[in-house]
Amino acid sequence: MRTFVIGDIHGGLLALEQVLKRAEVNTQDTLIFLGDYVDGWSQSAEVIDFLIDLKTKQNCICIRGNHDQLALDWLENRHEDFDEEMWYKHGGKATVEGYSKITPERKKEHIAFFESLKDYYLDDENRLFVHAGFTNLNGVVWEYFPKLFYWDRTLWESALALDPNLKPDDLYYPKRFTVYKEIYIGHTPVTRIGETVPVNKACVWNVDTGAAFKGPLTIMNVDTKEFWQSEPLNELYSNEKGRN
């Protein structure tokens, strides 16, 4: 049995199907999805249908992304602290258009899926899987602001800025990077630093390879670090803009 982690999908069902096939995933494998299943390409609703079905066939751990929470707020007509215009600009428009074509019954199933998403997952080897990050120096259990699990960017920014010569027992080494053996995140595409493959800084692995934009979707074996990628999403959806 293998364990795979999958980066941000953003409505790209074609890419998801492609990476599962390329990694030769079978029903004995565990799949950990880091969130942001929607907002971007045209198949957000279809991605959720696919994941709901996949969870009946094998062990799938689905983490909550910020875009998933935004979609849930919209589906449940919660508009407090919700900038709908900004959401539209960042992929929400494609989600709204996609959901206009599905039945109320399917919408209810999708709402239940969004509500079931986990803020994070910690495995038996002290490896943390979270969409964005956390801020409490003692770890996720002590986080005061749960929204940061799917909104924080400081964990990744700190990892990028960390002096590689610092050792974990150094006085100035960030305590957040000593709590867990490894941390797997998405949320901030590595394309922002000119990469299209998973990037490891300190104990953090970022596997968001820019599928919302012009990058590929990535699936990675968490034990071996071998990874497989789809074609760039703008090529798979050549008649769409995604979030570009």
Residue range 50-97, pLDDT digits in tens: 999 999 999 999 999 999 999 999 999 987 777 888 999 899 999 999
pLDDT in tens, 114-138: 999 999 999 999 999 999 999 999 9
C-alpha torsion 70→17→7→226, nearest 10: 170
Give residue 199's pLDDT band: very low, low, confident or very high (50, 70, 90).
very high
**pLDDT for res 82:** 77
Q: Does domain 3-237 have CATH number 3.60.21.10?
A: yes
Q: In degrees, to the nearest 5, what angle opens at C-alpha 72 toward C-alphas 138 and 85?
A: 100
> What global pTM score does this model have?
0.97
Question: pLDDT for 156-179, tens place per residue?
Answer: 999 999 999 999 999 999 999 999
Would you say residue 211 has pLDDT above 80? yes
Alpha-carbon distance of 140 to 128, in angstroms, equals: 9
- Domain assignments of the chain as residue spans, ordered by start: 3-237
